[in-house]
Structure 1
Amino acid sequence: MKMKEKIKQEAASLFAEHGYAGTSLAQISERVGIKKPSLYAHYKSKDHLFEVLAEEAFEAEQQRIATTEDLYELLSSMLHLYEQDARFRFLVTSSFFSPDFLKKEIMAQYDVLLQSLEGKIYGFERIPDDQKEDAAVMYTLIFDSIAVELCYGTKKRSEKRLDTAWRVFTHYFLKEQEKK
């Protein structure tokens, strides 16, 4: 792994775990195994590194949304990604705990992400047209609920929320299709 990627990987993990304020460049450099001044060869500042990570994390999530066709898989994969992918964990935590200097930009990116999720529902043919708006709102509520639970709760509670919410979602919005 190239040094720049290693820095981003370790920084994402630390920012996700300790937040922006609780993470220092010294911690990042120690985790990477380089001296702190060496970080400046790759990133101008901690702010710059955080901005780059946020941009890349949102781009990766937009790509994941665009390429995942299965609506349930899109939600259930959040549970595994949060545990295994520092960039995804960073995306979730920074969406709730963003530094003031980036709050507006991160919220704008999160809104675009939610619009992409809604777009998946509008493009899903099994949901009747007259229910697509409600289904889109409900789907993003499930996404948000899982993200909140991942930040504040446990994987077990996240799984329970997903199972219950998905059962209600499919019962209400897909019931007509299932009866055929």
Structure 2
Amino acid sequence: MSQTVNKIKKTALFYISKYGYEGTTLKDIAQKVGIKTPSIYSHFNSKEQLFLSIIKDLKLKERESLMKLVLELRKKPIDEVIRAFFYFYTDSNNIASWQIILKQILMHPPASLLQILRKDFEELEKEISIQLSEFFQIGREEGWIKNEDTEQLISLFFTLIDGLLVEQNLYDSEKYEQRREEVWNLYRDFISQ
């Protein structure tokens, strides 16, 4: 991938995360990159294609991070695994770009891309759910997890991390970390009883 394409994507990600899809123009992106707007079209057919390319990159990065995390956690006790998974998905340093884009999509969804984005998001959530299901099964086999409803545990996991995503923007880091620990303790107690 060329340096120009990387600059275009990075700049587009910045603008979309700040102003949303509709509030971002190719002209703004081109000016920031230091090229003329038509030059973007030599790399991307449209703003939609640029946006989808960014989403594809973010999904790939997310999958790589997920697999790396799973491999790192293979030998740990299951309660530590689930805690690490929860903390990974509530740590803005790990998936900040994906979370920012997701928040913008949810707040101001580009109507023409909504179906594609929903499908992409559902695929990614399904991959995470598969890992969670395996963790929960191991936890049950070890006697740590008492709750038998895997779908309920997964739904609660996603609801909690989505709620914490919003709180990252509301609180200073100390308050957020305190809230995140409280939420984890509640979730741990729920799944282990």
Into which bin does the TM-score normalised by the smaller protein fall?
Answer: 0.7 to 0.9
- For 1:44, the aligned partner's letter is N
For 1:116, the equivalent position in structure 2 comes to: 127
Cα pair distance change 1:87/1:6, threshold 3 Å: farther
Number of matched pairs: 171
- For 1:74, the aligned partner's letter is F
Q: How far does residue 63 in structure 1 lie from its aligned partner after superposition? A: 2.8
Q: Secondary structure at the match of 1:139?
A: helix
- For 1:36, the aligned partner's letter is T
For 1:73, the equivalent position in structure 2 comes to: 87
CA distance in 1, matches of 2:56, 2:106: 12
Cα pair distance change 1:87/1:120, threshold 3 Å: closer
Q: Secondary structure at the match of 1:68?
A: helix
**Worse-superposed segment, 38-47 or 125-134:** 125-134
- For 1:121, the aligned partner's letter is L
For 1:93, the equivalent position in structure 2 comes to: 104
Q: Counterparts in 2 of 1:1-180, with a 5 A limit?
A: 2-69=3-70, 70-77=84-91, 79-81=92-94, 85-86=96-97, 88-124=99-135, 125-126=138-139, 127-128=145-146, 130-150=148-168, 153-154=170-171, 156=173, 158-174=176-192
2:147/2:191 contact within 8 Å kept: no
CA distance in 1, matches of 2:41, 2:89: 37
Q: Secondary structure at the match of 1:144?
A: helix
1:98/1:106 contact within 8 Å kept: no
1:25/1:46 contact within 8 Å kept: yes
Structure 2 unaligned spans of 5+: 71-83, 140-144
CA RMSD of aligned residues (A): 2.5
Deviations 1:118-148 (A, max 9, x none): 2222111223472433221211112221234
Cα pair distance change 1:116/1:158, threshold 3 Å: farther
1:7/1:32 contact within 8 Å kept: yes
Cα pair distance change 1:15/1:155, threshold 3 Å: farther
Q: How far does residue 92 in structure 1 lie from its aligned partner after superposition? A: 3.9
Structure 1 unaligned spans of 5+: 176-180
Q: How far does residue 115 in structure 1 lie from its aligned partner after superposition? A: 2.0
- The TM-score normalised by the length of structure 1 is 0.80
2:99/2:165 contact within 8 Å kept: no
Cα pair distance change 1:146/1:138, threshold 3 Å: same
- The TM-score normalised by the length of structure 2 is 0.75
- For 1:26, the aligned partner's letter is K
CA distance in 1, matches of 2:172, 2:61: 22
Deviations 1:1-55 (A, max 9, x none): 7111111011011011101111111110111121212111111121211121122
